[in-house]
Amino acid sequence: MTSYVVATAFGGPEVLEVRDEQLGEPGPGQVLVDVRAAGVNPVDHKLYGGMYGENPSQLPMRLGFEAAGVVRAVGEGAEGPGGPVQVGDEVIVYRAQGAYAAQLLVEGTEIVPKPAVLSFEEAAGIMLAGTTAVHMLEATGVGHGDTVLVHGAAGGVGLLLVQIAKARGAHVIGTAGVGNHAALQRYGVTPVEYGEGLVERVRELSEDVTVALDCVGSDEAVDASLELVADRSRIATIAAFARAAGDGIKALGGGPGADPGTAIRDAARLELVALVEEGQLEVTVAGTFPLAESAAAHRSIQGNHTHGKIVLLP
């Protein structure tokens, strides 16, 4: 028997429940993975919170899209983007439905190799945020010589976003509370405090911000981006979907009217692995919770002030 987490209704974290099931052996092309850690992301609670609608047929709803673990069994011909999968391989699973689980039975195409330098906890938190970050950079054409303003630079997506932007040759200014400024400076990012006067503080740092990337979704983030960046095609948000449509900026991800960027995100998986192996990307784990305490894990991220990733441990 293996445990997994579901939302039994639409609502808050109190609707989460641990259940048990028996998984079968992997069929052709499939892989059975013993999960060591599963990544928690804001989209998880948005789904059962009703942000994308409340269709009763989706209940009970399995949660989680990313995990890291060890391959227990392999079906015939199982192969991922990094090549054939073998028993004993340490792997990252993404994108998998229901990753909050002790075991996962998935298609080989959802498996990529786990870099040896990452712990299972770190590896479980890299893919959803990392592929989102790559999508934002690709959509706005970030490259050498750009000055990029990242709103929410100390969050789960933001911390990966600033590192990948730096790896692409950009100068990065990141908004964060004062307590997170030192962490951003360690990555070569110029920190700036959000709040009243943000535009003036950014202009003191650079008169030529060419790209703005919003991981927060606040009116302040969007308004500042519009004021600082002349070309609206180089402003992107993963949260302010209503503003994006009205202001002519790019909405990316799973929100209403947003570009999901599926092909870009799929291709980004091996790019992220390579960046880690090259020493250009690391994952910050803000905290871990047992699988049975998934409700507490969700409460910890709902304030959007987490420094790094929250991870569940089966």
Residue-wise pLDDT tens digits, 156-184: 999 999 999 999 999 999 999 999 999 99
Question: Helix, strand, coil shares of the chain as percentages rounded to 5?
Answer: 35, 25, 40
Residue 295 region, left (φ>0) first, then alpha (ψ -120 to 50), else beta?
alpha
Measuring CA to CA, which residue among 226, 207, 85 is closest to residue 151? 226
Residue 307 has pLDDT above 80, yes or no: no
State mean pLDDT over 53-73: 96
DSSP annotation string for 197-221: THHHHHHHH-S---EEEESS--HHH
Choices 1.10.600.10, 3.90.180.10, 3.50.50.60, 3.40.50.960: CATH for 2-126+283-313: 3.90.180.10
Q: What number is the average pLDDT over the span 226-231?
A: 97
Q: Is the pLDDT of residue 304 over 80?
A: no
Which residues fall within 8 angstroms of residue 174, CB to CB, at 6 or more apart? Answer: 149, 150, 153, 154, 158, 162, 184, 189, 190, 191, 192
Amino acid present at 48? Y
pLDDT at residue 255, as a whole number: 86
Averaged pLDDT, 58-79: 97
CATH topology of domain 128-251: Rossmann fold (3.40.50)
- Could you tell me where in the chain the CATH 3.40.50.720 domains are found? 128-251
Work out the pLDDT band at 51, boundaries 50, 70, 90: confident
Over residues 250-270, the mean pLDDT reads 95
pLDDT of residue 28: 98
The band of 151, judged by pLDDT with boundaries at 50, 70 and 90, is very high
Secondary structure of residue 129 in the 3-state scheme: helix
Strands (E) in the chain, as ranges, are: 2-7, 16-21, 30-40, 61-62, 67-74, 79-80, 83-84, 90-93, 103-107, 111-113, 147-151, 171-175, 190-192, 211-214, 235-237, 250-251, 285-290, 309-313
Domain with CATH 3.90.180.10 in the chain: 2-126+283-313
Residue 48 has pLDDT above 90, yes or no: yes
Statement: residue 117 has pLDDT above 70: yes
Joined together, the tokens standing for residue 306 give 């987490």
Three-state secondary-structure class, residue 128? helix
pLDDT over 60 at 305, yes or no: no
Q: Which of 132, 149, 141, 139 is nearest to 212 (CA)?
A: 149
- pLDDT over 70, % of the chain: 99
Mean pLDDT of 96-125: 97
User: What is the structure's pLDDT at 303?
Assistant: 65
Report pLDDT for 308.
Answer: 81
110: left (phi over 0), alpha (psi -120 to 50) or beta: alpha
Dump the DSSP string for 132-163. HHHHHHHHTT--TT-EEEEETTTSHHHHHHHH
Residue 301 confidence (pLDDT) above 90: no
